[in-house]
Structure 1
Amino acid sequence: MASAPPKPRSRARRILVAALKISLYSFIVMTIAVGVAVAVAVNQLPSYGELVRRDDLGQMVRVRAADGTVIHTMGPSFGEWLPYSDIPPIMRDAMVSVEDRRFRSHFGIDPIGIVRAFYVRIRSGAWAQGGSTITQQLARNIFLSNDRSWIRKIREGILAMALEWRYTKDQILELYLNRVYFGGGAYGIDAASRRFFGHRATELSTGEAAIIAGLVKAPSNYSPTADQDAARGRAGVVLDLMVENETITRGEAAAANPRQIEFARSTERHTSLRYFVDWVLPQLDMLIDETIQPLDVWTTINVGMQGLAEQSLNANAPRGAQGAMITLDRDGAVRAMVGGRDYVNSSYNRVTQATRQPGSSFKLFVYLTALESGYRPDSIVQDAPITVGGWSPRNDNGRNVGAVPLRVAFAYSINTVAVRLARESGTRAVADMAQRFGITTRINPHPAMALGSSEVRVIDMARAYAAVQRGGIGVTPYGIRRVTTADGTLLYQHQDDETRVLVQPWVAQQMTELLAGVVSNGTGRAADLGRPTAGKTGTTSSNKDGWFIGFSSGLTTAVWMGRDDNRALPGLAGGRAPARAFHDFMVRAVAHRPVEQFPTDAEAPDWPTGDNEEIFFAPPEDGPLVDIDGMPIEETPPADDEYDPYRRDAARPEDAVPVDEFEEKLFY
């Protein structure tokens, strides 16, 4: 009996079988394709050593103050690269708990996590939970962009599996923790730890590790620099996950209380530091060639002095006035630089960029030239009317007192004397002296230049006065002490040059004596620090600019005040607001420095001056040379040991110079 033919399969069953076969074949083909893609990716992966470098993130430059404090970071911020063994276990556990709890068991992608992400998507209608593993995140951070296309996700998965094939789990976690972005410009856990807590990542506590681990999800939202409360709240979620994963106990989580974590204070608490930073950073191109490795720029700035300078300038500047202040140490190191009253509103640096008339502070160069040519502080000079090329400068009080010692003429900033000295020495010689001392702007050698009519920069004037304090040795302002790579390799070291002798020591010492007289008896009395102090006031025509530049105990400080539009400021004078700002700053800046007496040991050459050494040069325009008593040089003044012609309590008051006639408001 013949067997019955088999029943034909139903159409539905045939379709199901065909679909299963197609799916199986497709899975096999896809698996082979993925395998090939992963194999190709593995062969193209860089070595582990190459991945340790973070050049692809851009060059990081950290600017440090004199005490090593980081005051500014440009580009990405990197800390030390921590090998896996140096990463605190609590940090590793925190990151795995919050970002990828099955990190140790998956092969680069987590199928369970992907299924959960799709399930949440179906239920909520939105992608509320990501399925990316730590390895996928690492692949994206190193090799891919952050776009949300499916092509990018596929490439991310292939690269993640390639990374798992090529490197160990420990290596992957090490790469991740040293490269991931945590907000605030910080890449890697060490940079984040230093940025947010002020110490190395090797010292992280449980609570601090939880805060850092919680930042990866949304650095811009949870970063302590953006929202400290949000960072602490997110850390609480991380601690709960760590308890759930049994990496810490509930008691340890409670003890880690993120609400009690103290964050590091911002190192950029003085916005005026940006004036200094903006000045030094462009100099790197001239000092070093390194453009890839992270750099540490070790500067001269003293953060404490910077704060004092900012405070003193703003407290004393008249309403409507701008201001600038710079302080140099004896070798030219910039200790403070305030280029304006508010960097946020104006980043224009009035210390290094602005050119303004210096007024009588420019007389420094007139008197340096005179001293070098043979004048002495006790030389007799004439305060008498003078006309040069149709120009007749006058003194503020409109009066002339005749013959006065050089020291008195300088202390009270007598204009006619300065013009006469410049004319006698030669205005070209005075301009050359200014340029010798570091004035970089053009000095027009017309007669009015003696009274400060040519524009200068504040930093140049500070440099010139600092050279006088240094005994006539040239001073070059500098802000960078050294430059190193992040691992400490030295790329540049500043070298002080003490060989540039601008004037002989005796000239500098006699100039210092004149400058000290300005503070003790003349127009700069408001700047007196209660210790040896020297300086000079300056006020320009119509009170457009006010200056005080001086030095004490190794520090030289220049102060300028005025308006950017060059309009007049009634009442502005160098001996008032600028001198007070100098005093308020310097009295605290030098408080812990030794009191230094001005040197007087350098001997001037024995210049031939005639029989009467008290009568020297400087005849009036017309008539014979006279001494302090108005006597012709042929006559000898009466000897009187107690007679001091420029002392208030002179033995012969009727002959004393009327010092009250010379006040601080100047014409040029």
Structure 2
Amino acid sequence: MRRRALLVVLLTGGCALPAAALPSFAEVKAAHPTSETRFLDRHGELLQRQRTDPTVRQGAWVALPEVSPALRGALVYSEDRRFYEHSGVDWQAVAAAAWGNLWNTRTRGASTLTMQLAGLLDSDLKAGANGRRWTQKAGQAVWAQWLETRWRKDQILEAYLNRVPFRGEIVGVDALARSLFAKAPHGLNADEAAITAALVRAPNAAPERVAARACEVQQAMARAQGAKADCLSVRLLAGSVLRDRRWAASEGDAPHAARRALAEWRQQAGTRAVPAQVRTTLWAPLQREAQTLLQRQLRSLLGRRVEDGAVVVLDNTSGEVLAWVGSSGLLSQAAEVDGVTALRQPGSTLKPFLYAQALAEKRLSAASLIEDAPTHIPTAGGLYIPQNYDRHFRGWVSVRTALASSLNIPAVRTLAMVSPEDFAVQLLRLGLPLRESGDYYGLGLALGSPEVSLLSLANAYRTLANQGRHAPVAPLLAGPRLAVRSEAVLDPGAAFIVGDILSDANARAATFGTDSLLATRVWTAVKTGTSKDMRDNWAVGWSQRYTVGVWVGNASGAPMGDVSGTTGAAPVWAGLMRWLHERQPSRAPTPPAGVVAQAVRFGQQLEPARREWFIAGTEQPLFALGTDSDSGAPALRPRILSPATGTILAIDPDIPPAHQRLTLRAEAGHVRWRIDGQPLGKGQEVAWMPWPGKHQIELLNARGEVLDRVRIEVRGAGVRPTTATPRRPPARNPVAGTS
């Protein structure tokens, strides 16, 4: 047996192999298999590694200069000391091995690095359970000599390091360095290099044996240099790393975006195959900045029961995603949940679209007055009693103040004008995926009762940035794509006016103060929002070029502790806008056609005079309650404040009728009242004795024109008046009925 092996080795020196049967170095490198997909940013910078082959751990190809000199030296010294001297077959080692076999003495072995590489490149040369057959060894020798004539030594060593199996499922130096030592191959030190070299000889040996072999390598190298090696550190290190696998299945700065991009790639390719590399539209510096700002903000909220967040940044023109941070990473107990696509209640962030619709329908202008006062609105489920976030009421305010200061009651009144169903249709056109109809959500739709994703909400705000033109978010995959036509879903004038309001620091001062984080040094428009019980808070807004959306909350849906949009999400939003526009200006948009500016003032000193934007046809110089004494301008059309339409009253037969009068209230005093077509009285307040039945209450001006009407129902026992004209009880000390 020993003679036959020696004869084979001697014969192989004269063997030749057709060059066409063997690959070039470039072909081997290009066909390098990997168990992961590398996700790159728009400029080719690595963002994320995602394991996609569960059967093996094999990283990307590593160039030889990117491998630490310590590992290169240890490997060559351990496996093939004459690597740079022989031409593929180390005949000196062959002779020593043959002599050792003859006398049953131990030698290093005759297999060179080049021969081992040949066995890694050709599956026919792969060793079986009982080792390689003599024909395989001969083939290795032939391959090795051929490789040495066509490949450089550095190419052979580089290919070997990338294809050699190490421990278990680990193949190649990249996977080994990241799995065992949690670092890149260029960072391996002398101890780590010795352990790596030891694993080549005995990949699955016990840690004690690997440590002993690594110690031998270190001592041999030290003796060659006239030094001594201390093996204690390498023994301790081997015992720990060989029991601890540190290479996570996903590693990098964009795990959630990587999963999304991989799904898009598979859909586009029509296959479940795994690509080695995917280039995305993300911008790596921005992605890392968004991640850093989010984690820093959540750490500052320590103790307030908040651990999750998400960020998305869109390019206004192309719709490309520039940053996608799906979670707070290690700060979260649900880091796998993607906060960019998860459905959450958006709170007040829907208000800009509501006011845009009311402006477009010419129901309101930015200077129109809406009352911010306690109100009870009857609904099918009972009375709806909206509240402002700070529990304060500001009386009559303009639409500009109501939206910029995020007042809830004016928003609910506006939705009553627009109707929940029509508003829901508008939200669907903006790409917000409502699960139910507008009537299902009711007036709560104004305050963000449905659930939407951060991605769809940010893209809806991008529609405002593009003056009402909507287009879907572009795929995460970079590269050429078909042009997507945008659709006009909002009046451009209304979108412009809403953007102007959301950029107005003075208009938001009533709620946020004059030094709010929302006031950036460049032009931006922004809206915050907080959902019920502080379960979600948001900051979404845009500049001339970018739309930024931030969500902060808990993936579990648990409420936070006193964290609002301004204290939770807004600092991250403001930090990103500062970073994006550190050297890039952002200018206010140009007003579109059909928008006019006019100086306005307000009666009763409700708000300071200013210059305001209007959709053409809605402009007027004065907004007042009643008749403004200074100019004699007409008043706003008065409304009925109480009772609300749909109110149901119950008459109690045990209470004297005089104590069950209902007080009717209007916004202004120069009005007349009519019930069921019959006159009742004049003035801002009138008392009425109710009787059973359904009634229509109307408010009229001096010319008899109907200004407003409500319908109510009275139930229970009562005495009908004997005349056709309703009784007019004394107006003094009126008492409201029981509802």
Structure 1 residues 107-256: aligned runs within 5 Å? 107=89, 110-112=93-95, 114=97, 129=108, 131-144=110-123, 149-152=129-132, 154=134, 156-164=136-144, 167-171=147-151, 173=153, 174-181=155-162, 195-197=184-186, 217-218=198-199
Which residue of structure 1 aligns with residue 496 of structure 2?
A: 509
Which residue of structure 1 aligns with residue 241 of structure 2?
A: none
Provide the C-alpha distance between the structure 1 equivalents of 2:6 and 2:94, rounded to a whole number of angstroms: 16
Which residue of structure 1 aligns with residue 295 of structure 2?
A: 310
Task: Quote the offset at 1:269 in angstroms.
Answer: 13
1:62–1:72 CA contact under 8 A, matched in 2: yes
Provide the C-alpha distance between the structure 1 equivalents of 2:19 and 2:576, rounded to a whole number of angstroms: 65
Distance 1:604 1:153, change over 3 A: farther
Provide the C-alpha distance between the structure 1 equivalents of 2:554 and 2:43, rounded to a whole number of angstroms: 34
Task: Quote the offset at 1:418 in angstroms.
Answer: 1.8
Task: Quote the offset at 1:160 in angstroms.
Answer: 0.6
Which residue of structure 2 aligns with residue 646 of structure 1?
A: none
Tell me the alpha carbon deviations over residues 44-89 of structure 1, each in whole angstroms, 9 at most, x when there is no partner.
Answer: 955548952554624663222355432223464444889x9xx9x9
Pairing 1:407–2:390 present: no
1:99 to 67, 74, 79: 79
Pairing 1:571–2:562 present: yes
Provide the C-alpha distance between the structure 2 equivalents of 1:73 and 1:280, rounded to a whole number of angstroms: 12
2:533 to 520, 526, 542: 542
Higher relative contact order (CA 8 A, sep 6+): 1
Structure 1 residues 525-564: aligned runs within 5 Å? 525=513, 526-531=516-521, 532-552=523-543, 554-564=545-555
- Code of the residue aligned with 2:379 in structure 1: it is V
Task: Quote the offset at 1:449 in angstroms.
Answer: 1.7
Q: Which segment is superposed worse, 427-436 or 287-296?
A: 287-296
2:446 to 444, 450, 473: 450
Provide the C-alpha distance between the structure 1 equivalents of 2:557 and 2:20, rounded to a whole number of angstroms: 64
- Code of the residue aligned with 1:311 in structure 2: it is R
Where structure 1 has 5 or more consecutive residues not aligned to the other structure, the ranges are: 1-22, 199-206, 223-229, 251-265, 483-491, 636-668
Pairing 1:295–2:295 present: no
2:337–2:555 CA contact under 8 A, matched in 1: no
Provide the C-alpha distance between the structure 2 equivalents of 1:74 and 1:169, rounded to a whole number of angstroms: 38
Distance 1:210 1:540, change over 3 A: closer
1:460 to 456, 461, 468: 456
Task: Quote the offset at 1:495 in angstroms.
Answer: 6.6
Q: Give me the TM-score of the superposition, normalised by structure 1.
A: 0.66
Which residue of structure 2 aligns with residue 334 of structure 1?
A: 321
1:443–1:455 CA contact under 8 A, matched in 2: no
Provide the C-alpha distance between the structure 1 equivalents of 2:5 and 2:74, rounded to a whole number of angstroms: 39
Distance 1:535 1:293, change over 3 A: closer
Which residue of structure 1 aligns with residue 306 of structure 2?
A: 321
2:356–2:498 CA contact under 8 A, matched in 1: yes
1:582 to 564, 573, 579: 573
CA RMSD in angstroms, aligned pairs only: 5.4
Tell me the alpha carbon deviations over residues 1-31 of structure 1, each in whole angstroms, 9 at most, x when there is no partner.
Answer: xxxxxxxxxxxxxxxxxxxxxx8xx957995
1:394 to 361, 382, 386: 386
SS of the residue aligned with 2:342? coil
Task: Quote the offset at 1:467 in angstroms.
Answer: 2.6
1:98–1:238 CA contact under 8 A, matched in 2: no
Task: Quote the offset at 1:468 in angstroms.
Answer: 1.8
Provide the C-alpha distance between the structure 2 equivalents of 1:407 and 1:162, rounded to a whole number of angstroms: 84
Distance 1:370 1:593, change over 3 A: farther
Structure 1 residues 15-54: aligned runs within 5 Å? 45-48=21-24, 52=28
Q: Which segment is superposed worse, 425-434 or 149-158?
A: 149-158
Pairing 1:433–2:426 present: yes
SS of the residue aligned with 2:131? helix
Q: Which has a greater percent of helix? A: 1
Which residue of structure 2 aligns with residue 65 of structure 1?
A: 41
Tell me the alpha carbon deviations over residues 590-618 of structure 1, each in whole angstroms, 9 at most, x when there is no partner.
Answer: 45143424225224366545987747789
Task: Quote the offset at 1:406 in angstroms.
Answer: 0.9
Task: Quote the offset at 1:512 in angstroms.
Answer: 0.9
Provide the C-alpha distance between the structure 2 equivalents of 1:299 and 1:440, rounded to a whole number of angstroms: 24
Where structure 2 has 5 or more consecutive residues not aligned to the other structure, the ranges are: 52-57, 204-210, 227-246, 596-614, 624-634, 643-664, 670-682, 685-698, 703-739
Q: Name the % identity.
A: 19
1:376 to 334, 345, 365: 365
